[in-house]
Amino acid sequence: MRGPTSGFLATVSFRSILLTTRLNKVREVVILYETSIIFAVLFG
């Protein structure tokens, strides 16, 4: 179950980063990027 969950979270975080860059809010992009790294470490 970890594989599909990790894939889903990676997709959601990537799409969030794309959406945020379109809104030109770089600070939020950095926060989302760091959060995706934390999720990747936790799920392995």
Q: Domain ranges in the chain? A: 2-43
Residue 11 and residue 41 in contact, taking contact as beta carbons nearer than 8 Å: no
For residue 12, what pLDDT is reported?
84
For residue 41, what pLDDT is reported?
79
DSSP string, 2-39: HHHHHHHHHHHHHHHHHHHHHTT-HHHHHHHHHHHHHH
pTM: 0.48
pLDDT digits (tens, 9 = 90+) for 1-44: 677 888 888 888 788 777 777 766 677 667 777 777 777 777 76
For residue 44, what pLDDT is reported?
65
Residue 10 and residue 40 in contact, taking contact as beta carbons nearer than 8 Å: yes
